Structure 1
Amino acid sequence: MKKEIPKKSSSKETVEQAKQVLQGKAKKSGFRKIAPFLGPAFIASVAYVDPGNFATNIQSGAQFGYLLLWVIIGSNIMAMLVQTLSAKLGIATGKNLAEICRERFPKPVVWIMWALMEIVAMATDLAEFLGAALGFNLLLGVPLYLAGILTAIATFLILGFEKSGFRSLETIITAFVGVIAIAYVVETFLDKPDWGLVANSILVPRFAGTESVLLATGILGATVMPHAIFLHSALTQNRIVVRKPKLMQKLFRYEQIDVFIAMGAASLINAAMLIMAASTFHRSGLTSVGTIEQAYITLEPLLGKAASWVFGLSLLASGLSSASVGTMAGQVIMQGFLHFEIPVWIRRLVTMIPSLIVIFIGLEPTRTLVISQVALSFGLPFAIIPLVYFTAKKDIMGVLVNHKLTTIAASLVALLIVVLNVFLIVNSIGKGI
């Protein structure tokens, strides 16, 4: 009887193909050449199209039209830089950001950072879980508590793909991002925006009073996410391992392509969300549309049932994918800071409890999403400042150490994000959130 040769996992095949490309042995060209390197940034990019983005983009577009489109583009350019540094850290050190913090900082600092990042992870999960539950609620017409249970089951199933290797999970998450992107291509086609005003709003930065500044800060807070910074470094640390300086530099260039494509897609999706709200609600004089449920209900009489259905589907894809990615980020944070981890299903079970409590006691979902974004904003400096600090150190990064201009640019981005997020927190508290 002929002995069956076991098939390699798709993850192992991906690593081998990538190493052949790096060593110049691969005969592939074009997309097939870069395909083995694509994936980590797509998982990280899910944090940039999560339900928190839906809430801020809809409010901004309905209230101010296309005005704040330039904020979305600028925020995503900053996010590209931050995620590039995170990917580079994992490649250069073979460790993730949380692990390096544990090695380099005093124990009390490490414990404080871990506690803060766990709070951030829970706030993130709250927003993402609620978003997916809203998606089920709006599409299927089921009560929100039942939608929450469906969300829990779905995220458990998605996380189960992690056992099959990184490639399976990357494929699932990328497919979700694709669903969101296609949904907003359809929405943009249906709402027929004024492309002249769109271009003007992208190219001419401006505000229209304090409220627009607050919403702009909210967009930034929902765009640059602390848990995604920790996660991305973990996704690249052991994915494709090379230690020769030239191969590491080459690998990093391919990862930059991954970041550019994934974060570019996230930028376009966020812009499409705001364009949809501006073209549909603001143009019709419905400037007070401020919740996801209102947007879903209002879309049908304005653009037809297909538009509201597509919107609900994109929200569901966003919530399910980001809830799964948020759980992965929580694992990385605990393992990195404490050198301890729990089974992913236990973490999923524990972190969804606050979300289910919010659903069962009947808190308003969109308002809860906004509050969660404030919590994320508070945690952001504790991720981005260590990232810039570590990637600027030669003894940590070796040949991939930041160029001086990169460090300056990243430091300015970090400073801007910190200042704007302090502004967001102060104003949110002043208004009673």
Structure 2
Amino acid sequence: MAVTSSNSEQPQFIASTGNRSFSNAPLIENTDTDQIVVPDKTSWKNLFAYMGPGFLVSIAYIDPGNFETDLQSGAQYKYGLLWIILLASCAALVIQSLAANLGVVTGKHLAEHCRAEYPRVTNFILWVLAEISIVACDIPEVIGTAFALNMLFNIPIWIGVLLTGLSTLLLLALQQYGVRKLEFLIAFLVLTIAGCFFAELGYAKPDAAEVLNGLFVPQLKGSGATGLAISLLGAMVMPHNLFLHSALVLSRKIPRSVRGIKEACRFYMIESGFALMVAFLINVSVISVSGAVCNSADLNAEDQMNCKDLDLNKASFLLRNVLGSWSSKLFAVALLASGQSSTITGTYAGQYVMQGFLDLRLKPWLRNFLTRCLAIVPSLIVAVIGGSSGAGKLIIIASMILSFELPFALIPLLKFTSSKTKMGAYANSTAVSF
């Protein structure tokens, strides 16, 4: 990498690999036609220009996969696995910040770096693994959407699985009105259910000392706790998010000065921290409500049965004390919004992964159709054979797959962000790499 500077302190970052060279200009097609230009002046007001990528990424932390694993964690182990959520959230902040820094400093996203640095076979294997992680992430979205349609319209789960493809394509078509407006609406709906769980906390009254003990005292007590802990981790820190975050930051046209790059890295960390804090509180509240309600001595026989095999299709009873008869409908709307918004970000991630690793671009609807077909097949088989219970177990398995996929995205990220050649003064410290 060569760094050149003029009198106006406008450095240009250029990396060469073989016969290819990369500049700081984004090599991806912007998914949003409204590119944001950050003013070349020091001001806290610039923070608002950087708001967006962190919240899009954080949607994956409150998707149907998270709700499913959170609900089962609380029902089976009360607050005993809350420490996984805290650990994963702290790790996520560091990891997502590294992904953002990679895009800001080098002007390339993670998949492009992999294509430039690794041999063809290694690059192909990493691409396949990244695609598997995107499909594994899409399975909970498919099943969550099917559950939502079942709660809203009494549509059988297996038919809802088939309809998820059409619903996602319809939502993608609405992007012509502006992706930011669409994501704002989706985030509002998701936060609505979060508000309901926060309100339910007041009714469930989980023991504060037990919650704090669950957050700060690691434990894996009970049969199946380790498997569920792995699922919680996989549902929180998703491999495709590293590719997505490093690409989304390129939608901002930042000043290519030392001050401008430093400010971008700092503000992206602040934005990611705030977004992930909201996601952390939502996950903690879902586990706490599930743990408090399902482990209550006053639980009636019907709710006891629901807690023994708790899945997204039965979870609305947890909100009954706050919302009454509207609990299932509002939970279904938020679950639908969560699944669809996560699908959109998954489509973006898939586009960046395919373009970065293979230098191949597809239309978003075609890319989504291919990914969704791969996710629909196992979901449909399980839904037909195992019903809602089997579909819920498939979400747990998909989350476990994501946990084992994480190193194949994380190790290249650490390698590139630790490189003085690529990152210069922004390279990882030894402590961060450790």
- TM-score relative to the length of structure 1: 0.82
User: What do the CA deviations read for 1:201-232 (whole angstroms, capped 9, x no partner)?
Assistant: 22333332453233222211211100111111
Structure-to-structure mapping, 1:143-158, within 5 angstroms: 143-148=156-161, 150-158=163-171
Q: 1:15 aligns with which of 14, 36, 42?
A: 36
Tell me the equivalent position of 1:388: 414
The whole-number CA distance in structure 2 between the counterparts of 1:48 and 1:383 is 17
The residue aligned with 2:272 is 259
1:199 and 1:260, CA in 2 relative to 1: closer, same or farther beyond 3 A? Answer: same
- Identity of matched residues, %: 36
Aligned with residue 72 of structure 2, among 52, 59, 67: 59
* Equivalent AA in structure 1 for residue 41 of structure 2: Q
Partner of 1:322: 342
Equivalence map 1:77-116=2 (5 Å): 77-116=90-129
Aligned ranges 1:395-410 → 2 under 5 Å = 395-408=421-434
Asked if 1:370 is matched to 2:396, the reply is yes
Judge conservation of contact 1:54–1:292 (CA < 8 Å) in 2: yes
Q: Partner residue of 2:290?
A: 277
Is the CA contact (8 Å cut-off) linking 1:184 and 1:272 kept in structure 2? yes
Task: After TM superposition, list the pairs within 5 Å mapping 1:197-216 onto structure 2.
Answer: 197-209=210-222, 211-216=224-229
* CA distance, structure 1, for counterparts of residue 189 and residue 357 of structure 2: 30
In structure 2, the residue matched to 1:227 is: 240
Match of 2:57 among 25, 41, 44: 44
Identify the residue that residue 24 of structure 2 maps to in structure 1.
Answer: none
Post-superposition CA distance 1:35-89 (Å, at most 9, x none): 2211101111111111111121111100111122122111111111111111111
State the aligned residue count: 390
Amino acid at match of 1:329: A
The one-letter amino acid of 1:323's match is T
Letter in 1 for 2:341: S
Q: Distance in 2 between matches of 1:353 and 1:210?
A: 34
Q: 1:180 to 1:399 in 2, by over 3 A?
A: farther
Q: Which runs of 4+ in 1 moved over 6 A?
A: 11-14
Q: Deviations over 1:103-144 (max 9, x none)?
A: 000011011111111111111112212112211212322222
Unaligned runs of 5+ in 2: 1-31
1:294 counterpart (311, 314, 334): 314
Does the 8 A contact of 1:176 with 1:317 survive in 2? yes
Q: What letter is aligned with 2:221?
A: A
Instruction: Determine if contact 1:42/1:170 at 8 Å carries over to the other structure.
Output: no
- The equivalent of 2:9 in structure 1 is none
Q: 1:192 to 1:42 in 2, by over 3 A?
A: same
Q: Distance in 1 between matches of 2:139 and 2:215?
A: 31
Q: Which amino acid in structure 2 is aligned with residue 401 of structure 1?
A: A
Q: CA deviation at 1:348?
A: 1.5
CA distance in 2, matches of 1:141, 1:218: 29
More helix by share: 1
Q: Is the 8 A contact 1:392 1:402 kept in 2?
A: yes
Shift in alpha-carbon separation, 1:295–1:164, aligned structure 2, 3 A: closer
Range moving further from structure 2, 41-50 or 290-299: 290-299
**What letter matches 2:218 in structure 1?**
P
Task: Say yes or no: does 1:244 pair with 2:257.
Answer: yes
Is the Cα–Cα contact under 8 Å of residues 52 and 222 in structure 1 kept in the other structure? Answer: yes
- Judged with a 3 Å threshold, the aligned counterparts in structure 2 of structure 1 residues 168 and 293 are, in CA distance, closer, same or farther, namely closer
Change beyond 3 A, Cα 1:168–1:396: farther
**Structure 1 residues not aligned, in runs of 5+:** 1-10, 409-433
Q: Which residue of 1 aligns with 2:85?
A: 72
